[in-house]
Structure 1
Amino acid sequence: MTTARQPRPVVLLRPVPGTSVIHELWAGTKIIVVLAFSALMAFYPDWVPLALVAILIGIAIRLARIPRGVVPSVPRWLWLLLLLGAVTATIGGGAPEVHLGSYGIAFGGLLKFVRITVVSVVLLALGMLVSWTTNVADVAPAVARLGRPLKVLRIPVDDWAVALALSLRAFPMLLEEFRLLHAARRLRPRPVLNSRRAGRRRWAIEMVDLMAAGITVALRRADEMGDAITARGGTGLISAAPSGPRRADWVVLTISAVVCAVSVLLQVTVLAGGGI
């Protein structure tokens, strides 16, 4: 008797156990790299920048020793959605074209769809890499350090950093609580309903109950987190922790800047107008 393989859930905002060169990087360095590569992919989503960024991310994943078990399973409906998108993009046509006898098939739309899909996967992998190698407690001091020049404009950078840190810490807890609530709802016996109207009414009542339970859980978690922060000295300590780049961070920033500069240079000079 064989058992069905359980799908692996999405695990984010929780660093993978262990240490590596990527784990020890400053959180601000990872934020800068994410912003730089995201801007590069937004302005130049072509194959050459995509290949360079993908190679660099692959090397970083290798150095971080990310196990395959943390990679979430891809649901079947997503594969079907990608297949549907590929088919509709192929119908759109465009160069290049392949001629089979008297028939011609245009693959321009398909190639654009594949490129956009690969860009999304690469940026998603970059975000997951940062999530799996960064402690949430290190994000607030890094944001406060990076936003220090904005204090001249009387922008409350420290408050923003604290709010971001608390949001990142609360998200995994609330997600786990909602999973427990959903599991408890599924264990409840289902009532026998005689009509579709009764079924819709029952569904609406259950949704209201779940929302009320979720709000209650969120308030309870917020109260507990507030007591814990007060006992440890207040929110000021969250963004006041010492934080800054080291030698390895400057190396990573230099490599990332070189990749971005080479990608832009190739797109503007050598490959201008020749992208797919």
Structure 2
Amino acid sequence: MIALYRPGTGIFHRLPAGVKLAALAVGALLLSLYPHDPISIAVSLLIVVGLYGVSGMPLRVLLVETWRLRWIVLVLAVALVIFVSPVAAWISTGRVLSVLLLAGLLTLTTRMADLLEVLHRLLRPLRRLGADPEAMALTISLTLATIPVMAGFAARVREAEQARDVRLGVRAVVPLLVLALTHADEVGDALAARGMG
């Protein structure tokens, strides 16, 4: 769901990671706190699409990012249509989609090392409270980096189902869990090899 960095020379690639992270936070707050109507949500989505265009990303990248989010959008929209109203479904789903696409644009245009450095600087004051900012920043960056890996594992499980012409249904969680645990062990071994407990 969260994309990996794509090298480029667009305006968003050149902006400092801290500025982009702050802009994402402000955008998420505005989308979450400001009382929206269907038209303002449509405008928000158009602005996000425009930001992808300004960033120099091909339209295909935006379509791939949107496709990755299809299940979140579908489940949220259907639940809200059933339990609330179609208008509420459009507003809430549009908010979530806008924020997730903005987060995707951040990770597409920002190296993980740069994000890690910004997070480390932001978390440094917590050292006075006994927290370890390096470990916290590493944990956050590993979480962000693992999301697309998990999406890749899910795609592998689906491809294996299609190749064998079977439908595992809920049981598909088992191979996905095995892949996730194997990946976690490999990451743990790599961190231990570098002296990170």
Q: 1:181 to 1:42 in 2, by over 3 A?
A: closer
For residue 165 of structure 1, report the CA deviation from its aligned partner: 1.6
Matched residues in 2 for 1:121 and 1:158: separation?
31
> What percentage of aligned pairs have identical amino acids?
26
| Partner of residue 28, structure 1 | 18
Q: 1:166 to 1:16 in 2, by over 3 A?
A: same
For residue 118 of structure 1, report the CA deviation from its aligned partner: 4.3
Matched residues in 2 for 1:214 and 1:176: separation?
10
**Aligned-residue CA RMSD (Å):** 3.8
**Is the contact between residue 14 and residue 131 of structure 1 (CA under 8 Å) also seen in structure 2?**
yes
**Is the contact between residue 115 and residue 141 of structure 2 (CA under 8 Å) also seen in structure 1?**
yes
For residue 177 of structure 1, report the CA deviation from its aligned partner: 2.3
Q: TM-score, normalised by structure 1?
A: 0.53
Q: 1:234 to 1:175 in 2, by over 3 A?
A: farther
Matched residue SS, 1:69: helix
Gaps of 5+ in 1: 1-10, 91-109, 191-201, 237-276
| Partner of residue 52, structure 2 | 61
Matched residues in 1 for 2:48 and 2:195: separation?
37
For residue 154 of structure 1, report the CA deviation from its aligned partner: 2.0
Gaps of 5+ in 2: none
For residues 172-203 of structure 1, give each alpha carbon's deviation from its aligned partner in whole angstroms, at most 9, with x where no partner exists: 2232123212321332255xxxxxxxxxxx96
Runs of at least 4 residues of structure 1 off by over 6 A? 47-56
**Is the contact between residue 45 and residue 94 of structure 2 (CA under 8 Å) also seen in structure 1?**
no
Matched residues in 2 for 1:54 and 1:175: separation?
24
**Is the contact between residue 37 and residue 53 of structure 1 (CA under 8 Å) also seen in structure 2?**
no
Matched residues in 2 for 1:219 and 1:89: separation?
40
| Partner of residue 131, structure 2 | 155
Residue number among 113, 119, 127 corresponding to 1:137 in the alignment: 113
What letter matches 2:175 in structure 1? A
1:181 aligned to 2:171?
Answer: no
Computing the radius of gyration from Cα coordinates, the structure with the larger value is 1
Matches within 5 A, 1:1-276: 12-46=2-36, 57=48, 60-70=51-61, 71-72=63-64, 78=74, 85=81, 89=85, 110=87, 115-188=91-164, 207=171, 210-231=172-193, 233-235=194-196
What letter matches 1:217 in structure 2? L
The answer to which of 181-190 and 127-136 deviates more is 181-190
For residue 163 of structure 1, report the CA deviation from its aligned partner: 1.1
For residue 35 of structure 1, report the CA deviation from its aligned partner: 1.6
What letter matches 1:68 in structure 2? L
Matched residue SS, 1:23: helix
Matched residues in 2 for 1:174 and 1:114: separation?
28
For residues 195-237 of structure 1, give each alpha carbon's deviation from its aligned partner in whole angstroms, at most 9, with x where no partner exists: xxxxxxx968x71xx4443333223323333343445x4449x
Matched residues in 2 for 1:57 and 1:212: separation?
36
**Is the contact between residue 28 and residue 99 of structure 2 (CA under 8 Å) also seen in structure 1?**
yes
Matched residue SS, 2:179: helix
Between Structure 1 and Structure 2, the one with more helix by share is: 2
**Is the contact between residue 4 and residue 145 of structure 2 (CA under 8 Å) also seen in structure 1?**
no
For residue 21 of structure 1, report the CA deviation from its aligned partner: 2.3
For residue 69 of structure 1, report the CA deviation from its aligned partner: 0.6
